Amino acid sequence: MHLGVVGLGTATWGRGTDREEAADQVGLLLDAGGNLIDIAAGGPASDFARQSLADPGVRREAIVNVRVSADNAQRGLISALDEAIEAMGIGHADIWTVEGWAPHSPWQEIVTSFAVAVSTGRTRYAGICPGAPWQAALVGAALDSQPDRSTLAVITTALNLLDHAAARPMRDVAAALGAGIFAAWPLAGGVLTGKYRHATPPDSRGAGERYAARMHAYRSASSWPIVDGLCAAAEGLGASPGAIALAWVRDQPGVTSSLVGARTPHQWRAALASTEVTLPPEIRLALDEVADGASHLSHDGTTGAVPA
């Protein structure tokens, strides 16, 4: 399975991005040579997907990652996947990601659900977006121990210049399992584009309440020196801060793709332009050092919700 290095996050579909804009984003993705589309089950994005992926040619090119919230039983997980596939009109999921962790659920329910979904053609690959590294390790090891089961293909986790240190344990688990990383929140909710340096745009994610806690963490006082350094590097390279931030994530070991949620086609074009950016070794090293010092953030199990 070959994936584009920038994947389309769809959390804004139906929440600021209308149907025409959603279809435009899909077209821009495919025109740029990308293919990964990340869609959460049960929200307005599921309905938008039916229209955006209606063309059989588009569906053949696209690789759809269907995210379903964790449930406490196999029946609930499989039913949620079936409902999502039907709502999106996609026939099957290319990747099925179980998001979160049901605290009272036997972990075997997730493992057997993946086995059933792969064997019945509901999905080709299994993924997980857990709240803690040990959860991914447990599921991945159980899948690896059964030769007739699909291995864990992907782990989704927040990864950006501000989350780098906190993400290291999850990345270690992925490396041990041979799983790829989907980097969620690669732009730290837009903070790493530099747009929050002097004010909060009224139509931005930072102005809303839905992701207030995470945005507050990304906009803490310790973040601003990192953002300032990123902006200085971007100015020196003649690129946008967002493009530099995405290029840095792209070049991290184990990262398969970054999931970018763009509200408008203009923002999405800017994200896709990051694929043309090459970071000089000295810039990458400087950003690595900056990222290593950003250890004030932590994961909360919502890494896949808004991948930008």
Query: What would the pLDDT profile of 168-198 be if each residue is shown by its tens digit?
Result: 999 999 999 999 999 999 999 999 998 877 5
Q: Which residues pair with 7 in a beta bridge?
A: 259
Alpha-carbon distance 29 to 157, whole Å?
22
Question: Is residue 199's pLDDT more than 90?
Answer: no
Question: Is residue 206's pLDDT more than 80?
Answer: no
pLDDT digits (tens, 9 = 90+) for 42-59: 889 999 999 999 999 999
**How confident is the model over 250-268, as a mean pLDDT?**
94
Domain 6-188+249-277 CATH assignment equals 3.20.20.100: yes
How far CA 211 is from CA of 174, 194, 300, in Å, comes to: 26, 18, 12
Q: How confident is the model at residue 301 (pLDDT cuts 50, 70, 90)?
A: very low
Q: How confident is the model at residue 203 (pLDDT cuts 50, 70, 90)?
A: low
> What's 53-101 look like in SS3?
CCCHHHHHHCEEEEEEECCCCHHHHHHHHHHHHHHHCCCCEEEEEEECC
Residue count (the chain): 308
Question: Is residue 147's pLDDT more than 90?
Answer: no
pLDDT, position 196: 74
**How confident is the model over 201-208, as a mean pLDDT?**
54
| Predicted TM-score of the model (pTM) | 0.90
Contact indicator for 151, 140 with CB cutoff of 8 Å = yes
pLDDT, position 204: 53
Mean per-residue pLDDT of the chain: 88
DSSP 197-253: SS---TTSGGGSSTTHHHHHHHTSGGGHHHHHHHHHHHHHHTS-HHHHHHHHHHTST
pLDDT digits (tens, 9 = 90+) for 283-300: 999 998 888 876 555 444
Alpha-carbon distance 92 to 86, whole Å?
9
Domain ranges in the chain are 6-188+249-277
Contact indicator for 95, 127 with CB cutoff of 8 Å = yes
Q: Which of 105-119, 128-142, 204-218 has the lowest mean pLDDT?
A: 204-218
